[in-house]
């Protein structure tokens, strides 16, 4: 039986990953800094620990008796958070540093690190018609200030712990993961959830106006959570030593994302553009050439299908009948 630790288990992706691994019969230890009642999902028959993994001793406690690690723990959120909390994002380097040290000393056989497309050179993301970012485009380095630099540095740590100590490490660069059981309000939410929330709020309250951050022409690709969980496991148990993109190659503008959400809702709104709001790079997309070559697989769930499930889940969370009004906020997330 595999004995795996999921760091950041109280977060969006971590909660889904714990359920998937437990469903495979693995013995799972789920670790997060938040109180258990603030986790996005809690899986039964799992060893749930409340620990601050920035503290070195806690990392040794978390890994004791286990043999594999999925490190998804980080202080992060959408663009509205990472552009205004750069120091907090950088402090996540302590988590990966101390987990790697504990992994080396505790006999961990395999270690997964969740990186981000924010590691990519910003000069390659100035055009909305982004052809797709290849893994090699992280260098020469010009990562997203704060969050992106922490991720790039932590990738290098994983590489050198493998080279110097033989710790098997695997790295995936996530591109905008979304889906049910995620943040949709409070400042850490990403674009799909934010747009869904705004449209649902409009429906509930008869509002016709919606605020879009930026001019709406900036482009991104969005990966549904099921593809993400599948990809994490494929990369973790592969023999691929280099970081890999893990994202959809279905690029859309924020205006197109809004179009799809309005179509799902059957509700049209009048758009107003906040050009002073945080908006990130101009264009970003995942080039999946390498993952297709090495794994014969790429994320394939369409944005329309994934967004429909996400929209319906958020609407259910916001229904007044559930005791939550349209302004209800879920717990803040300090994990990926």
**pLDDT tens profile 246-258:** 999 999 999 999 9
> What's the total number of domains in the chain?
2
Residue 329 has what pLDDT? 35
How far lies 135's CA from each of 10, 26, 76, 221, in Å? 29, 31, 22, 16
- Predicted TM-score (pTM) of the model is 0.92
Tell me, yes or no, whether 141 and 275 share the same domain: no
Q: Which of 305, 327, 196 is nearest to 258 (CA)?
A: 196
Q: Does residue 229 fall inside a structural domain?
A: yes
Domain of 59, CATH number, reads 3.40.50.720
Tell me, yes or no, whether 139 and 123 share the same domain: yes
Residue 220 has what pLDDT? 97
Residue 26 has what pLDDT? 98
DSSP for 71-128, written as a single string: E-B-S--SHHHHTT-HHHHHTTHHHHHHHHHHHHHHT--EEEEEEEGGGS-GGG--SS
Examine the residue annotation and report whether 40 is marked as an active-site residue of this protein: no
* 29 within 8 A of 14, measured Cβ to Cβ: no
Tell me, yes or no, whether 132 and 270 share the same domain: no
Q: Does residue 37 fall inside a structural domain?
A: yes
Tell me, yes or no, whether 212 and 279 share the same domain: yes
Tell me, yes or no, whether 265 and 173 share the same domain: no
Tell me, yes or no, whether 307 and 171 share the same domain: no
Tell me, yes or no, whether 214 and 231 share the same domain: no
Q: 40, 111, 113, 147: which one is catalytic?
A: 147
- Kindly give, in sequence order, each residue whose CB lies less than 8 Å from that of residue 77, ignoring residues fewer than 6 positions away: 85, 183, 187, 188, 189, 190, 332, 333
* 104 within 8 A of 63, measured Cβ to Cβ: no
CA distance between the termini of the chain: 26
Q: Does residue 24 fall inside a structural domain?
A: yes
Residue 331 has what pLDDT? 30
Question: Within 10 A of 97 (CB to CB), how many other CB atoms are there?
Answer: 17
Domain of 267, CATH number, reads 3.90.25.10
Residue 79 has what pLDDT? 73
69-94 residue pLDDT tens: 999 999 877 777 888 899 999 999 99
Tell me, yes or no, whether 71 and 88 share the same domain: yes
Q: What is residue 264's DSSP assignment? A: H
DSSP for 139-183, written as a single string: -S--PPTTHHHHHHHHHHHHHHHHHHH---EEEEEE--EE-SSS-
- Kindly give, in sequence order, each residue whose CB lies less than 8 Å from that of residue 277, ignoring residues fewer than 6 positions away: 80, 211, 213, 214
Angstrom distance (rounded) from CA 80 to CA 212: 12
Give me 116's structure tokens: 């981000």
Angstrom distance (rounded) from CA 183 to CA 11: 9
Tell me, yes or no, whether 68 and 87 share the same domain: yes
Angstrom distance (rounded) from CA 3 to CA 47: 11
| Strands 251-253 and 219-221, sheet pairing | antiparallel
Q: Does residue 151 fall inside a structural domain?
A: yes
Q: Does residue 294 fall inside a structural domain?
A: no
Angstrom distance (rounded) from CA 179 to CA 6: 19
Angstrom distance (rounded) from CA 255 to CA 310: 18
Angstrom distance (rounded) from CA 247 to CA 300: 9
Residue 186 has what pLDDT? 86
What are the φ/ψ torsions at residue 224 (nearest 5 degrees)? -70, 145
287 upstream amide cis, omega within 30 of 0: no
Residue 95 has what pLDDT? 98
Residue 311 domain boundaries: 184-221+250-285+303-322
Tell me, yes or no, whether 48 and 158 share the same domain: yes
Q: Does residue 133 fall inside a structural domain?
A: yes
Q: Does residue 329 fall inside a structural domain?
A: no
How far lies 92's CA from each of 10, 20, 52, 85, 323, in Å? 16, 25, 11, 12, 34
Q: Does residue 292 fall inside a structural domain?
A: no
User: What are the average pLDDT values for consecutive 10-residue runs of the chain, which has 336 residues?
Assistant: 96 97 98 96 96 98 98 84 89 98 98 98 96 97 96 98 98 97 89 96 96 96 98 98 98 98 98 92 97 98 98 93 42 31
Tell me, yes or no, whether 39 and 70 share the same domain: yes
Question: Within 10 A of 289 (CB to CB), how many other CB atoms are there?
Answer: 14
Tell me, yes or no, whether 85 and 196 share the same domain: no
């Amino acid at each position: 039986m595999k004995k795996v630790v999921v760091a950041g288990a109280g977060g969006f992706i971590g909660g889904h990953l714990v359920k998937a691994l437990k469903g495979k019969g693995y013995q799972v230890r789920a670790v997060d800094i938040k109180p258990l009642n603030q986790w996005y999902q809690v899986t039964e028959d799992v060893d749930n620990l409340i620990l601050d993994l920035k503290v070195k001793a806690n990392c040794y406690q978390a890994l004791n008796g286990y043999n594999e690690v999925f490190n998804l723990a980080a202080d992060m959120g959408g663009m509205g958070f990472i552009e205004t909390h750069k120091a907090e994002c950088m402090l996540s380097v302590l988590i990966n540093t101390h987990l790697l040290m504990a992994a080396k000393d505790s006999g961990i056989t395999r270690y997964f690190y969740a990186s981000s497309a924010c590691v990519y050179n910003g000069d390659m993301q100035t055009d909305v018609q982004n052809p797709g970012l290849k893994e090699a485009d992280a260098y020469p380095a010009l990562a997203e200030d704060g969050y992106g630099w922490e991720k790039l540095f932590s990738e290098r740590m994983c590489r050198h712990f493998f080279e110097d100590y033989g710790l098997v490490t695997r790295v995936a660069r996530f591109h905008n993961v979304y889906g049910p059981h995620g943040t949709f309000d409070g400042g850490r939410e990403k674009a799909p959830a934010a747009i869904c929330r705004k449209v649902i709020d409009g429906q509930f309250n008869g509002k016709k106006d919606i605020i879009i951050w930026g001019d709406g022409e900036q482009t991104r690709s969005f990966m549904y959570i099921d593809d993400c969980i599948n990809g994490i496991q494929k990369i973790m148990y592969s023999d691929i030593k280099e970081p890999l993109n893990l994202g959809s190659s279905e690029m859309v503008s924020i205006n197109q994302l809004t179009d799809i959400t309005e179509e799902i809702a059957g509700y049209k709104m009048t758009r107003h553009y906040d050009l002073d709001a945080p908006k990130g790079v101009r264009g970003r997309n995942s080039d999946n050439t390498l993952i297709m070559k090495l794994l014969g697989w790429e994320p394939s769930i369409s944005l329309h299908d994934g967004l429909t499930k996400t929209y319906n889940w958020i609407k259910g969370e916001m229904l007044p009948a559930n005791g939550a009004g349209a302004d209800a906020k879920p717990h803040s997330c300090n994990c990926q």
